[in-house]
Every structure is written in structure tokens, then in C-alpha cells.
Amino acid sequence: MAKVSEVSDGIYLIDMGEVKGAGSKERLNCSLVYFMVDGEQTALIETSPGAVVPIVLEAIKGLGHDPARLSSVILTHIHLDHAGGVGRLAQQFPQLKVIVHERGARHLTAPAMLITGTKQAYSEEFEADYGPIIAVPEEQVEAVKDGDTIRLGDRELKVIYTPGHAPHHMSIYDTRSQGLFSGDSLGHLTLGSNPIVIVAGFDLGLALESIDKMSDLDPRRVYASHGSSDREAAEFIRSVRATTSDYGEIILTAMKAGEDEAQMIQRLEAYNKEHDPDDKRDTRHRFKAIIPWYVAYFKKKQAV
């Protein structure tokens, strides 16, 4: 059962918690899902994977709303942990409008490349745990771009194009709560020394430009897709930018010195200990996961 809490007027956070996969019994990588209400209009921001769609629908019912009357689903991006359930929802509710950045729209209606990428990122058998990626009918997809406004009742949601984590990533600024739905463009709110979420296709230059664009909005709070939504926004955004940039400088310096991955990890661990001494987690696995994508970025830019 999901944990549901109201994080702002008419905005509810649906947290899947420790959901286990049906195949491997491992904890599923699920984004947070936000349910928004304005008058007769309701919307989801993110869906999480298809396997947890029934949990999301039960949470909506628990709030006294009929899922069959959902107006729209708004996706920050189309990665499995954020949008894996959108095809299942669209299939179940044909009135549903699926709103996504224009660079991601075609992968929802024809998801062959998305499925291939998901197998590479998760496993060939990802469906056993996460559920299948189902195509969204073209007539249900609404492609948006930077600067567009999405209306939900009297609520205005501004589309902010925020590539870096992914080229089709967008964030959503709610003018009423002055809150920013950041997807993966500002990382995980629960981490201390915290970069953006770094995966294949990461672009450091675009990521930093996106963070600056979000900072210029001066949001009162950040509604992240992983972690929580309770950190002071300005300080959090500043911290994310600093860490994302500093990690890049550390890795680039190590590359120029001809150092290997183990030496890069040592440098990053020293940085983390200095800037976040209360962090007692084993960071080695996290650094091993992000170093290749920083390295790929710098090689692509011919920085070394």
C-alpha cells in the first residue's frame, strides 16, 4: 500500500515505498507519483512502472476520486521508473491525455527503441518485475515544448525544458504553489552531496544550463520524483549545481592525469567526506555507476 500525503493545496504525493518485483523479488525502482486536483480536473505527474499502476489507482480512490475521470498524465520524461505505467493507464482510460515533451512523444506511440534502452538499463527480463511497456495511442498524446502552459482547471503549469539527464526531459512549474516538479533534473532530495541523476546520455553542459534555468524561477519548493519534497528549494538547487559541476571537474582532472576508475572514486569519496561528513553510506557503488557517463561526456566533447 502506498503512503499518501498532501504536500501542497491540491497536490498529493503517492510514495510506493518498498515494492518488490514479482520476478526477482528485488525492490523496484519507482518514482514518486503526484496527484493534482483542481475543481473537476485531476492529473498525475509521473506514473511509476506499470507493475504499480494498481497501487496508484487505489491511492487515488483512497483520496475520494474516481481514476476513470483522470484528465491527464504529465511525464517529466519517459524512463521506466517514471513513465513505465503510462501505456497501461492510457489503455485502461481512453479519455486520458498523456502530456510529454515533444522529443519523447514518438517513443510513447512507437516504443521499440524505448524497450531496447530499458533492457540495456535494467535487464532483458525487466517485464517480469516492472511490467511491459505498452504503446500509447497517438490520439492520446499531447506533445509540448519549452514555455508552453498546461492548464488543469484554474491551475497553470509551465513547461520548462530541462535536458541533461535525458534529451527529452522537462520540468513543470506550478504557478499557484510556486513549486517545481523536477523529475530527475535535480537528483534525489534524500541525498546529501547530491548531483543530478546521471545515466547513459548524460550531458553536463546541458544539465548545468537546466539547473540555472530552474534556479531563475526561484521556486518555493521542489517536488522531486525521488526522495521527498521538503527541502528548502534555493539551497537545494544551489547544492545540486555545485555537486554536479564539482564531480565533473574532479573526474576531468583525473582523466587528464591518466588516473583509473579506482583513483577517481578515491577523489570523489574525499570530496564527499569533506562536503557531507554525516553521509555514512557506502558511496563506492554510486560513484562506479556515474563515472562512466561523465567520462563518456568528456570524451564526446574532446575535453581530454
Q: How confident is the model at residue 248 (pLDDT cuts 50, 70, 90)?
A: very high
Q: How confident is the model at residue 190 (pLDDT cuts 50, 70, 90)?
A: low
This prediction's pTM: 0.94
pLDDT of residue 115: 97
Phi first, then psi, for residue 44 (nearest 5°) are -110, 140
Contacts of 112 (CB under 8 A, 6+ apart): none
251-276 tens-digit pLDDT: 999 999 999 999 999 999 999 889 88
DSSP secondary structure string, 134-192? -PPPGGGEEEE-TT-EEEETTEEEEEEE--SS-TT-EEEEETTTTEEEEETTT--TT-S
How many whole angstroms separate alpha carbon 304 and alpha carbon 298? 7
pLDDT of residue 192: 60
Domains of the chain: 3-234 (3.60.15.10)
Q: Return the minimum-mean-pLDDT range out of 212-216, 241-245, 280-284.
A: 280-284
10-22 tens-digit pLDDT: 999 999 888 888 8
* Residue (of 87, 184, 190) closest to 131 by Cα position: 87
Instruction: Round the average pLDDT of the chain to a whole number and report it.
Output: 93
pLDDT of residue 292: 97
H helix or E strand, kind and range, residue 224: strand 221-224
How many whole angstroms separate alpha carbon 224 and alpha carbon 171? 10
Mean of the pLDDT values across residues 114-138?
95
Q: Return the minimum-mean-pLDDT range out of 62-66, 119-123, 228-232.
A: 228-232
pLDDT of residue 23: 76
